[in-house]
C-alpha cells in the first residue's frame, strides 16, 4: 500500500479549520487536523507546498519513520506551524492504520484503561449569578467537572466570557479586537466567585479556572493561595510559560494544582516542568504537539513524574483533533481530564463523527480508525474567513498577555 494523494482542505463552518486527507492506492483514507487559530493559512501552505509532495509514494504504515522524516529531515524543527503540519500527517496515518487493521486506534495504543473519558465544560457569565446558573446547567447535563470564568467588575469585556454559552468562539474579528485588563480588579474578584460556586454546589464537583497567562509568578501565587479553600482541580496557565522557573515560585506559595501546556508543541517545551513536578496537568493536544505519536511520548514521560493529562479541547480544534485525543485519553494510564467545548451543528455536519457524550463522559466509538471524517461537499459550502483572537491592554494602554 502506498500514499497516492493528499489534499489540504480549508473550511469555515462558523470558524476556520484546516484538514489533511490522505488517500492510499487501495482507497483507504485518513484525516488529520492542522488548524492553527488565526494562522490557518500558514499551515495550509506548509502542508500543500512542502509536505504533501513528500508523502506521495510513501508507505502509510510507517508512521514513526514518516514522523522522523518530517521532523528531523526539515532541519527547521518545532514551532506551531511545523508541528501542526506534522500532527495532521501523523493523525491521518493512524486513522489509515486503524482502518486497515479493522480496529479503533485506541486498540492499537494498548486498549482501554477506562470506560469513558471525563470531560469538563465551560460555565461563564458576566455576573456571579449568571455563573451559578451556567454551572447548574452543566451539572444538569451530567458534567462532573466545570471550568468557571466570570466577568470582572469595572471591565467592559473579559476573555472567556461569551454571549453564546454553549458554542463559544473567541476569534471574533477579521482584525484583532482589543479589550482592557486590570490584574488588581481580577485578583480581588475571582476568589469571591469560587466561594459562591463552592457553597452552591458542594465539595465534590470538580472546579477549574483559566488565568490565560495574565499574571506574574507572585501574582499567580497569591491567586492560588486565595483559591485553596475552594479546592480547585486546577488553575490553568497562571503565567506565560516562556520563563518556566516562574512555576517554581508559584509552587513555593500555593498547593492549588497547576495545568499548562496548550500552546506547547514538543516534549522539549514540557520536559522541565514535568521533570521537576512544577505542574500537575499537561494540557497539550494532538494537533499542537505533532500528532498522536509525539503526544503519547509526552504523556508517557509525564506519567513517570505524577503528572496527568488535561488536553486542550477548545472549538478551534476540529472534531478530527477531538476524536484523535479521545483515542489517546481512553488508553493512557495517567489520564486526568479532557476539555470539551461543543462544536456547532454546521461543524458537526462537515465533520461527521462517532464519539458521543453521556453522563459526563465522552466515548470514542468502536469503528475502525479515528471514527471521524470530513464531508468535502459540505466543507466547500463554508469558505475561509479571516478571524483573530482579541488583544488585551492594561488600563494605561500597555499590551498585556491575553
Task: Name the region of 367 (left: φ>0; alpha: ψ -120 to 50; beta: rest).
Answer: beta
Is 212 catalytic? The answer is yes
Which grid coordinates are listed for 334? 495517567
CA angle 35, 40, 46 (to 5 degrees): 95
Cell of 369: 480508525
Q: Is 213 a catalytic residue?
A: no
Q: Which residues contact 401 (CB under 8 A, 6 or more apart)?
A: 212, 213, 214, 240, 392
Whole-angstrom distance, CA of residue 89 vs CA of residue 291? 8
Contact 21, 4 (CB under 8 A): no
C-alpha span between 58 and 188 (Å, rounded): 57
Torsion over CA: 143, 236, 283, 204 (sign)? negative
Catalytic option among 209, 212, 343, 353: 212
Burial readout 197-229 (b: 16 or more C-beta within 10 A, e: otherwise): bbeebeeebbbbbbbbbbbbbebbbbbbebbee
Residue 291, classed as helix, strand or coil, is: helix
What is the torsion angle, in degrees rounded to the nearest 10, for the CA atoms of residue 38, residue 44, residue 45 and residue 50?
130
- Active-site position among 69, 159, 301, 384: 159
* Residues annotated catalytic, as ranges: 159, 212
Amino acid at each position: 500500500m502506498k500514499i497516492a494523494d493528499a489534499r489540504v482542505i480549508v473550511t469555515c463552518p462558523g470558524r476556520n479549520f484546516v484538514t489533511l486527507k490522505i488517500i492510499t492506492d487501495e482507497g483507504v483514507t485518513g484525516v488529520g487536523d492542522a488548524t492553527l487559530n488565526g494562522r490557518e493559512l500558514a499551515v495550509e501552505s506548509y502542508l500543500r507546498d512542502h509536505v504533501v509532495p513528500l508523502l506521495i509514494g510513501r508507505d502509510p504504515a510507517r508512521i514513526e519513520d514518516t514522523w522522523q522524516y518530517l521532523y528531523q529531515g526539515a532541519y527547521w524543527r518545532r514551532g506551531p506551524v511545523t508541528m501542526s503540519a506534522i500532527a495532521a500527517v501523523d493523525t491521518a496515518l493512524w486513522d489509515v492504520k486503524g482502518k486497515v487493521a479493522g480496529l479503533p486506534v485506541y486498540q492499537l495504543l494498548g486498549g482501554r484503561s477506562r470506560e469513558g473519558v471525563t470531560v469538563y465544560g465551560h460555565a461563564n457569565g458576566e455576573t456571579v449569578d449568571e455563573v451559578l446558573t451556567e454551572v447548574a446547567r452543566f451539572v444538569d447535563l451530567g458534567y462532573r467537572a466545570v471550568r468557571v470564568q466570570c466577568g470582572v467588575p469595572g471591565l467592559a469585556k473579559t476573555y472567556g466570557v461569551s454571549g453564546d454559552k454553549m458554542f463559544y468562539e473567541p476569534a471574533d474579528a477579521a482584525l484583532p479586537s482589543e479589550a482592557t485588563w486590570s490584574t488588581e480588579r481580577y485578583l480581588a474578584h475571582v476568589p469571591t466567585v469560587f466561594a459562591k460556586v463552592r457553597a452552591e454546589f458542594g465539595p465534590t464537583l470538580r472546579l477549574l479556572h483559566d488565568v490565560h497567562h495574565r499574571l506574574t509568578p507572585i501574582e499567580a501565587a497569591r491567586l492560588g493561595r486565595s483559591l485553596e479553600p475552594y479546592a480547585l482541580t486546577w488553575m490553568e496557565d497562571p503565567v506565560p510559560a516562556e520563563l518556566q522557573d516562574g512555576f517554581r515560585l508559584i509552587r513555593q506559595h500555593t498547593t492549588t494544582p497547576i495545568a499548562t501546556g496548550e500552546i506547547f508543541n514538543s516534549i522539549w517545551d514540557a520536559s522541565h516542568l514535568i521533570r521537576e513536578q512544577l505542574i500537575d496537568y499537561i494540557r497539550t493536544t494532538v494537533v499542537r504537539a505533532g500528532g498522536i505519536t509525539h503526544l503519547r511520548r509526552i504523556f508517557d514521560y509525564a506519567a513517570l513524574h505524577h503528572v496527568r493529562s488535561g488536553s486542550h479541547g477548545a472549538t478551534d480544534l476540529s472534531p478530527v483533533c477531538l476524536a484523535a485525543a479521545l483515542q489517546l485519553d481512553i488508553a493512557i494510564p495517567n489520564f486526568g481530564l479532557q476539555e470539551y467545548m461543543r462544536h456547532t451543528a454546521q461543524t458537526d455536519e462537515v465533520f461527521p463523527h462517532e464519539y458521543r457524550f453521556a453522563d459526563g463522559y465522552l466515548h470514542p466509538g468502536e469503528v475502525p480508525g479515528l471514527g471521524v471524517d470530513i464531508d468535502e461537499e459540505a466543507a466547500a459550502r463554508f469558505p475561509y474567513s479571516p478571524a483573530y483572537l482579541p488583544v488585551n491592554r492594561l488600563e494605561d494602554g500597555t499590551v498585556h498577555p491575553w
